[in-house]
């Protein structure tokens, strides 16, 4: 008897799967575009409004605080109401708040709107990765989620282009408007994204789940006679998992490892990406030149994602995660000690290569280690805790930067980030579990005691 999960795991990448990957990816791209433009806005608005470094840090952190709350609430909502509704409505919240950010009349107004933008963004990302993971067969699951995450690179490239070409000419407000309109259109397109069959099965809506999987089987050329209604096992409706359940004996190791991974990568990543243009200006480069450097470095994200997508299905999640975090630590150290333009670009590209490859692996790994009933909540809470790292980093970076002066401060910032990435690499190597080649149900079941 084949249940929904077993039937999905027998499939190739069907047209429905590709459609879901594309539509969720387009929204993901505009989310990234917004985040990428914030770094350019921070540098530009700091000059126009004569903001202090603390205020600039608040601008970066307000969005992260919104992301933390959005991730926590959306994870529970995704387990209760479904993945589809969350990935659609959170993108609408993000798009509207981003558009309104361009009309900000003062600093407090912009802080509030950036919080709301972050709320939508933080809510969408874990739900979208969960949806793609649950639609994917075992042999393609890691690659598909990393390919979803690779849309982030295209969003950052677009953001870098806007920062380089438009902000110096039209001002920082144009950045928010350019990203908001297509994001809202992407939300409209997501109306056609179907719900996760695994989720439908878990809440007892077996007929809907069976209909979706039957369509994918038909697209894959699998004869319907192989999967008759009698062959489908009807599971018991599973109870929702609470926040406290994530810390029970059944899940505690998984939760601890994920929270460390998410906090570390958020603190380290947002510690450098939001501040890169500002830090480069502090080293003597013009604002336009710092945008140019950031654009070049963003291009290195693409091979970082694609190499991780290949390796994650060849050597496993655990090895790739540990390797790419170690590579990020090395690149952060070298970038912090760069002494000329060529070294800034070379090690900056290496930093973006490894860090974004690591991000892709994190999104692939996270939904795999919880069962369907806990997947949205577990992923959402890990993401939420991680966003606290992203919230803290924009405050910590300027403190270290100012304490040691422009030259030494730049180096000490990246020494700190090196330590964070190295620590996460060690935790993954020692405590992470391998999920490659295992079904979602097998992984989550194996971890129970």
Residue with tokens 């029970």: 248
Rounded to whole angstroms, how far apart are CA atoms 42 and 61? 11
Task: For residue 82, give the DSSP letter.
Answer: -
Torsion-angle region of residue 444: left (phi > 0), alpha (psi -120 to 50) or beta? alpha
Distant-in-sequence, close-in-space partners of 172: CB < 8 Å, separation ≥ 6: 40, 41, 44, 45, 48
Radius of gyration of the chain (CA): 21
387 vs 416, higher pLDDT: 416
How would you label 116-148 residue by residue, b for 16+ Cβ within 10 Å and e otherwise? bbbbbbbbbbbbbbbbbbbbbbbebbbbbbbbb
Which ranges of 49-140 would DSSP assign to H, the alpha helix? 53-81, 83-101, 107-135
| pLDDT of 414 above 80 | yes
Band (282; pLDDT cuts 50, 70, 90):
low
Write down the pLDDT at residue 234: 45
E strand or H helix at 295? helix 287-299
Rounded to whole angstroms, how far apart are CA atoms 106 and 48? 11
Band (277; pLDDT cuts 50, 70, 90):
low
Write down the pLDDT at residue 417: 93
User: Closest Cα partner for 355 from 286, 408, 412, 424?
Assistant: 424
Structurally, at CATH architecture level, domain 4-446 sits in Up-down Bundle (1.20)
Band (447; pLDDT cuts 50, 70, 90):
very low
Could you tell me the two tokens for 34? 């917004």
Query: Per-residue pLDDT tens for 204-243?
Result: 888 898 899 999 988 988 865 444 444 444 445 455 667 8
| pLDDT of 288 above 80 | no
Q: Is 355 within 8 Å of 417 (Cβ atoms)?
A: no
| pLDDT of 390 above 50 | yes
How would you label 208-217 residue by residue, b for 16+ Cβ within 10 Å and e otherwise? ebbebbbebb
Q: What is the pTM of this model?
A: 0.74
Which ranges of 166-274 would DSSP assign to H, the alpha helix? 167-170, 173-189, 197-202, 206-219, 252-273
Compute, in degrees rounded to 10, the torsion defined by CA atoms 396, 400, 401, 405: 160
Mean pLDDT, the chain, as a whole number? 82
Query: Per-residue pLDDT tens for 141-200?
Result: 888 888 888 888 888 788 877 777 777 788 888 888 887 887 788 888 888 889 999 889
- Per domain, the residue ranges of the chain are 4-446
| Distance separating the N- and C-terminal Cα atoms of the chain | 26
DSSP letter string, 311-350: HTTTT-HHHHHHHHHHHHHHHHHHHHT--SHHHHHHHHHH
Q: Mean pLDDT over residues 131-139, rounded?
A: 88
Query: Per-residue pLDDT tens for 242-252?
Result: 788 888 888 88
Write down the pLDDT at residue 33: 81
Q: Residue 340: is it exposed, middle or buried by C-beta count within 10 angstroms (0-12/13-18/19+)?
A: exposed
């Amino acid at each position: 008897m084949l249940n929904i999960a077993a039937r999905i795991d027998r499939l190739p990448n069907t047209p429905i799967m590709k459609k879901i990957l594309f539509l969720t990816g387009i929204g993901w791209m505009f989310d990234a575009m917004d985040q990428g433009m914030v770094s350019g806005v921070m540098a530009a608005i700091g000059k126009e409004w004569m903001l202090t470094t603390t205020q600039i840090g608040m601008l970066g952190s307000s969005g992260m605080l919104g992301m933390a709350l959005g991730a926590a609430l959306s994870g529970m909502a995704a387990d209760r109401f479904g993945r589809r509704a969350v990935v659609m409505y959170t993108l609408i919240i993000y798009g509207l708040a981003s558009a309104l950010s361009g009309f900000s009349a003062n600093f407090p107004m912009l802080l509030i709107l950036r919080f709301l933008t972050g709320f939508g963004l933080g809510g969408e990302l874990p739900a979208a990765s969960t949806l793609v993971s649950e639609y994917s067969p075992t042999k393609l699951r890691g690659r598909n989620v990393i390919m979803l995450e690779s849309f982030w690179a295209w969003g950052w490239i677009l953001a870098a282009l806007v920062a380089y070409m438009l902000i110096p000419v039209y001002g920082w407000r144009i950045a928010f408007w350019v990203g908001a309109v297509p994001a809202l259109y992407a939300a409209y397109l997501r109306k056609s994204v179907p719900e996760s069959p695994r989720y439908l099965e878990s809440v007892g809506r077996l007929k809907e789940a069976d209909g979706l999987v039957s369509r994918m089987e038909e697209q894959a050329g699998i004869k319907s006679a192989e999967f008759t209604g009698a062959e489908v096992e009807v599971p018991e409706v599973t109870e929702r998992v609470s926040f406290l359940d994530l810390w029970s004996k059944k899940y505690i190791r998984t939760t601890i490892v994920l929270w460390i991974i998410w906090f570390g990568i958020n603190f380290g990543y947002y510690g450098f990406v939001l501040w890169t243009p500002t830090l480069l200006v502090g080293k003597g480069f013009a604002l336009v030149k710092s945008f140019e450097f950031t654009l070049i470095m963003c291009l290195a994200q693409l091979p970082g994602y694609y190499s991780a997508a290949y390796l994650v299905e060849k050597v496993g999640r655990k090895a790739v995660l540990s390797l790419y975090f170690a590579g990020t630590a090395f690149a952060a150290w070298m970038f912090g000690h760069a002494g000329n333009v060529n070294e800034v670009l070379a090690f900056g590209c290496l930093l973006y290569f490894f860090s974004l490859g690591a991000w892709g692996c994190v999104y692939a790994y996270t939904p795999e280690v919880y069962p369907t009933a806990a997947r949205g909540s577990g992923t959402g809470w890990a993401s939420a805790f991680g966003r606290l790292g992203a919230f803290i980093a924009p405050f910590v970076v300027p403190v270290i930067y100012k304490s040691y002066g422009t030259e030494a401060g730049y180096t000490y910032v990246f020494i700190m980030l090196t330590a964070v990435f190295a620590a996460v690499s060690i935790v993954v190597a020692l405590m992470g579990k391998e999920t490659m080649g295992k079904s979602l149900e097998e992984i989550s079941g194996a971890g129970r005691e």
